[in-house]
Amino acid sequence: MPAGQGNEITLAVDIGGTGIKALLLDSSGKPIGERQRAATPRPATPAAILKLLDAMKNNLGQFDRVSVGFPGVVKKGATLTAHNLHPKWVGFELEKVLMRRWKRPVRVANDAAVQGFGAIHGKGLELVITLGTGFGSSLFINGILVPGLELAHHPWRKGKTYEDDFGKQGIERHGRKKWNRLLEKAIPQLESLFNYDHLYIGGGNAAHITFGLPAHVTRVPNEDGLLGGAALWRARPEHWKLTS
């Protein structure tokens, strides 16, 4: 039976270009049971990923609500971009589809935004970047998400974008040593652009950082991409969702 009010269990889903993860969280954001992980289907169409999510959900047990982190721009629960998945995701009403499919309340947000909700302190201007298959980003002002930020495809060096150099293909092309040198140069540039109070770096490839980070830059666990799922439900809708 679903948990009672005040002790809601969240099914947290993190959709990535390489892997998809799912985990149950209690109302405080602590994991319940084992995490499920599977390779992202190819082609990564909505139908293929929804089929996989159904199977993962069935292995996890009962839940009251759902949070989904998606690797692209999300507006009103619809996915507007999906550079590392499939063109059929453009304009896909993921939030509505999952609510009909699973008969539970659902919140869908950009994956870096979900990770950010799990990492930030809610004070000042906080920037989050995620280094995974692609390059994710989210920006918060006093804990309120600034929606629509998409740094991944912004040119920053010799016509290359942040995703070109810091996504999965970038680290494979450059090798870890050069990738670290480039990232060490990119951090001050991001600070000049945003004048953030704190920068959080997440994603699976953050584990490859070898240089010393400034005091106001923190590497956060990749698991925050799932653990932020409960924090997404603690935030008021106007703090995370585009409404116009």
> pLDDT by residue (tens digit) across 125-181?
999 999 988 899 999 999 999 877 889 999 999 999 999 999 889 999 999 999 999
- Cβ contacts of 103 within 8 Å, gap of 6 or more: none
Does pLDDT of 192 surpass 80? Answer: yes
Does pLDDT of 239 surpass 70? Answer: no
pTM for this model (two decimals): 0.88
Q: What CATH number is given to the structural domain containing 199? A: 3.30.420.40
205 falls in which pLDDT band (50, 70, 90)?
very high
Tell me if 59 is assigned to some domain. yes
242 falls in which pLDDT band (50, 70, 90)?
low
Q: Are both 76 and 163 inside the same structural domain?
A: no
In the chain, % of residues over pLDDT 90: 75
Q: Are both 154 and 93 inside the same structural domain?
A: no
Q: Are both 55 and 128 inside the same structural domain?
A: no
Which strands, in side-by-side order, build the sheet including 198-202? Answer: 144-146, 135-141, 125-131, 198-202, 217-219
Quote the pLDDT of residue 4: 41
Q: Contact, 79 vs 108, CB < 8 A? A: yes
Tell me if 224 is assigned to some domain. no
Q: Are both 89 and 136 inside the same structural domain?
A: no
Distance CA 38, CA 127 (A): 29
Q: Are both 17 and 108 inside the same structural domain?
A: yes
Quote the pLDDT of residue 241: 65
Does pLDDT of 54 surpass 50? Answer: yes
The CB-based long-range contact list for 84-89 (8 Å cut-off, 24+ gap) reads 84/16, 84/17, 84/44, 84/133, 84/134, 84/167, 85/15, 85/17, 85/40, 85/44, 85/45, 85/49, 86/43, 86/44, 86/45, 86/46, 88/45, 88/46, 89/45, 89/46
Tell me if 235 is assigned to some domain. no
Last residue of a domain, one of 113, 144, 159: 113
Distance CA 95, CA 75 (A): 10
Mean pLDDT rounded to a whole number for the chain? 91
Query: Residue 175 — φ and ψ, nearest 5°?
Result: 85, 160
- Helix (H), strand (E) at residue 195: none
In the chain, % of residues over pLDDT 70: 94
- Segment 109-127, tens digit of pLDDT: 999 999 999 899 999 999 9
Q: Are both 90 and 152 inside the same structural domain?
A: no
Does pLDDT of 50 surpass 90? Answer: yes
By DSSP bridging, strand 155-157 and strand 160-161 are antiparallel
Domain range enclosing 128: 120-219
Quote the pLDDT of residue 225: 74
Q: Are both 41 and 63 inside the same structural domain?
A: yes
What is the tally of structural domains in the chain? Answer: 2
Tell me if 54 is assigned to some domain. yes
Report the phi/psi class of residue 203: left, alpha or beta, with left for phi > 0 and alpha for psi in -120 to 50: left
22 falls in which pLDDT band (50, 70, 90)?
very high
Q: Are both 141 and 105 inside the same structural domain?
A: no
Does pLDDT of 238 surpass 70? Answer: no
